[in-house]
Structure 1
Amino acid sequence: MGTERRSVGVVMNGVTGRMGYRQHLLRSILAIREEGGLPLADGTVLWPEPILVGRTAGKLQALAERHGLTEWTTDLAEALDRPGVEIYFDTQITGARTGAIRAAIAAGKHIYTEKPLADDLSGALELARLADEAGIKHGVVQDKLFLPGLRKLRRLVEGGFFGQILSVRGEFGYWVFEGDWQEAQRPSWNYRAEDGGGIIADMFCHWRYVLDEIVAPVRSVQCLGATHIPGRVDEDGKPYEATADDAAYGIFELDGGIVAQINSSWATRVFRDELVEFQVDGTEGSAVAGLRRCRVQHRSMTPKPVWNPDLPATEDFRGQWQEVPDNAEYGNGFKVQWEAFLRHVAEDAPFKWDFHAGARGVQLAELGLRAWREGRRLEVPELT
């Protein structure tokens, strides 16, 4: 007797974009299907049936045919009205998100969405309220929590490795080409404030959940933003003015007096092992975590360098750190969170990364932009 399979229709809006296609469709939903579906606690297997939605019929059709899919449409209302559809997923540009999520709430669908949840905090809180009132399940992508390097970092925090945590230093970013002599690796809307672009709106949502969940809750923010590259060239070869910030230099005070400094930039060249790295320093030890790796230096193994600019450095500082072992199988971070949300919908499994969590990210981004504009430190109040 074969295993019972339960199909669940998933409307996926915006999957012709880079992230929506690579991480959410290809490496999450299609990967789950390639593995035979998602096993549930009662022995049934959940089988996601994606319905692709976007603005351009030709792109959708080509994408569907490439992966043997048959369901696609440019009509979101028609997609939401299809029988068997239980979940709506949104990975559009931020400005288009609120209206589509409202439509999905009105249609009674469970909702999983990329971040930021909305353009501003009031909009994010309104979506959370509407979703709660509708009695639907809702979630926001918080992918970095599921990456191997940060999961190892959390393991160290939970195990008391650091003693008293003193500070966090984060470096994120890379050079995004301007689009003239080399094609840009990010879509042009990211650099237009009027389209919801900007690195503060994008990355401070990430830094909120990374700091809150791995280190300690964020209590204040100071931020200096910049538009280092004032003009870029879009996908059609047309020059445009970059009106959004492409770099942000943030200082965050966390519970317990912990100080976090995080630099985020699309105008920096990488001289580190991964595109994002966090160093956590504590009284008993320190760690440096990236997307995949995590290395530590315990108090008992800390060398005693002496400052002497007259002599060349002879110590291999990187060689003085130890690698944290995997001790577990780590899947794709996006896929792991997708599986958690699907289980949340199918069997009411716990899932805390809901619209309220998404609103906290939008709150920090909004306060970061305001702190930059006003040139001052701002408290981060609790959201009720």
Structure 2
Amino acid sequence: MRKVNIIMNGVTGRMGYRQHLVRSILAIREQGGLPLPGGEVLYPEPVLVGRNAAKLEALCAQHNLSQYTTDLDAALADEANEIYFDSQVTTARVAALTKAIEAGKHIYTEKPVAESLDDALGLAKLAEAKGVRHGVVADKLYLPGLRKLKRLVDSGFFGRILTVRIDFGYWVFEGDWQPAQRPSWNYRSEDGGGMILDMFPHWRYVLDHVIAPVRSVYAQSVTHIPARWDEQGAEYAATADDAAYAVLELEGGIVAQINSSWATRVDRTELVTFHVDGTHGSAVAGLRGCRIQHRNATPKPVWNPDLPTSHDFRGLWTEVPDNDVYDNGFKVQWEEYLTAVATGAPYAHDLFAGARGVQLAELGTQSAREGRKLEVPAL
């Protein structure tokens, strides 16, 4: 068994703790490690890093871990630590990743990798120059619903794809009469918050990998809720966009419409849905499920507002079977990344892929500011 020390910076946060530490790294440990292609088993040893020693100590005690520190520089200087993982706030990411790359650590990081395209490309080029392996979280691609959708695309189910509609979001409470479900920094642009910066990197890799490459963007961003209350109950000005509405053109003339909002109440089966229409069929995927309607099973409605609707439209769709066992998406991607580090195999979701996500966010912000459609050039 081969042990690998992973510096995990930011695991006291919600996402870093639940999805990356507990449901990924600790889950890999609980299954006895990660089997590698040659028969060796990789066993991850997390080294927790953060600003609050008491929280880190409590996490170690809770999960029977032994290594934690508030000194990132010391952790990076330790040659026993091979991999650096970052799930801090966005504003702290570039500086920490730069230090880790300079120290010769392999890199795995949450998105967005940076607030600007220049910084994102700078990280990718530095990692290449230093010869370290680098990866960026692309968790949506590992959702069962999107894996089923990708299978439909690859099989030619849709015929010629016409349009994509992504509907994402839910109501995030303001924090005054009910605590907010998301950290307050998400709603302050000076702290790296904002819907476009948070979600457009996701939509970029989803569209690029599942449907077709993005070629242009027109976006409008809004701050619907101008004042919120933070974790201490203090009111603050929400300076970041909490919703974004976009029309993207994909390769082949496919039109993608995307609504992303933290100020909407859910009337969907899931918090996000991906609706794809094609000449031969349509599909609606969520986090886990995917429903389809082939052209041979498509009803023929006629618009007549004077009569009640006679079709049960949702009842005419068919559920795509699982036909597979789906593990936690974050864990599956961790396993792929760790295997790439251990074997030297190519890894697709690297810092250059992360830079493409930042590019779309940057162009989306510019489009919203200038009120015009912008081309998305190849990097």
Name the TM-score, length of structure 1 as normaliser.
Answer: 0.98
Q: Which runs of 4+ in 1 moved over 4 A?
A: none
| Candidates 84, 87, 90, aligned match of 1:88 | 84
Kindly provide the amino acid, as one letter, of the partner of residue 155 in structure 1.
R
Matched, 1:364 2:360: yes
Corresponding residue number in structure 1 for 2:231: 235
Counterpart-to-counterpart distance in 2, 1:169 and 1:41:
39
Corresponding residue number in structure 1 for 2:171: 175
Counterpart-to-counterpart distance in 1, 2:352 and 2:131:
14
| Shift in Å, 1:347 | 1.0
Counterpart-to-counterpart distance in 1, 2:330 and 2:358:
20
Tell me the secondary structure at the aligned position of residue 256 of structure 1.
Answer: coil
Corresponding residue number in structure 2 for 1:225: 221
| Shift in Å, 1:193 | 0.3
Counterpart-to-counterpart distance in 2, 1:378 and 1:366:
11
Matched, 1:350 2:350: no
Tell me the secondary structure at the aligned position of residue 240 of structure 2.
Answer: coil
Matched, 1:79 2:75: yes
Matches for 1:147-226 after TM superposition, within 5 Å: 147-226=143-222
Matches for 1:1-384 after TM superposition, within 5 Å: 5-383=1-379
Tell me the secondary structure at the aligned position of residue 252 of structure 2.
Answer: helix
Counterpart-to-counterpart distance in 2, 1:13 and 1:329:
30
Query: How big is each residue's C-alpha offset from its partner over 1:308-333, in whole Å with a ceiling of 9 and x where there is no partner?
Result: 11112232111100011111111111
Counterpart-to-counterpart distance in 1, 2:156 and 2:360:
27
Considering only aligned residues, what root-mean-square deviation do their CA atoms show, in Å? 0.7
Counterpart-to-counterpart distance in 1, 2:308 and 2:63:
56
Tell me the secondary structure at the aligned position of residue 224 of structure 1.
Answer: strand
Identity %: 69
Counterpart-to-counterpart distance in 2, 1:73 and 1:85:
13
Counterpart-to-counterpart distance in 1, 2:60 and 2:312:
51
User: Which runs of no fewer than 5 residues in structure 2 stay unpaired?
Assistant: none
| Shift in Å, 1:84 | 2.1
Counterpart-to-counterpart distance in 1, 2:36 and 2:254:
40
Tell me the secondary structure at the aligned position of residue 256 of structure 2.
Answer: strand
Tell me the secondary structure at the aligned position of residue 288 of structure 1.
Answer: strand
Stretch deviating more after TM superposition (301-310 or 277-286) = 301-310
| Shift in Å, 1:83 | 3.9
Counterpart-to-counterpart distance in 1, 2:168 and 2:276:
15
Tell me the secondary structure at the aligned position of residue 206 of structure 2.
Answer: helix
Kindly provide the amino acid, as one letter, of the partner of residue 56 in structure 1.
N
Asked if structure 2 preserves the Cα contact closer than 8 Å seen for 1:37 and 1:48, the reply is yes
| Shift in Å, 1:13 | 0.2
Counterpart-to-counterpart distance in 1, 2:359 and 2:165:
21
Name the TM-score, length of structure 2 as normaliser.
Answer: 0.99
| Shift in Å, 1:101 | 0.3
User: Which runs of no fewer than 5 residues in structure 1 stay unpaired?
Assistant: none
Tell me the secondary structure at the aligned position of residue 283 of structure 2.
Answer: strand
Asked if structure 2 preserves the Cα contact closer than 8 Å seen for 1:9 and 1:85, the reply is yes
Query: How big is each residue's C-alpha offset from its partner over 1:180-208, in whole Å with a ceiling of 9 and x where there is no partner?
Result: 11110100000000001000000000000
Asked if structure 2 preserves the Cα contact closer than 8 Å seen for 1:340 and 1:349, the reply is no
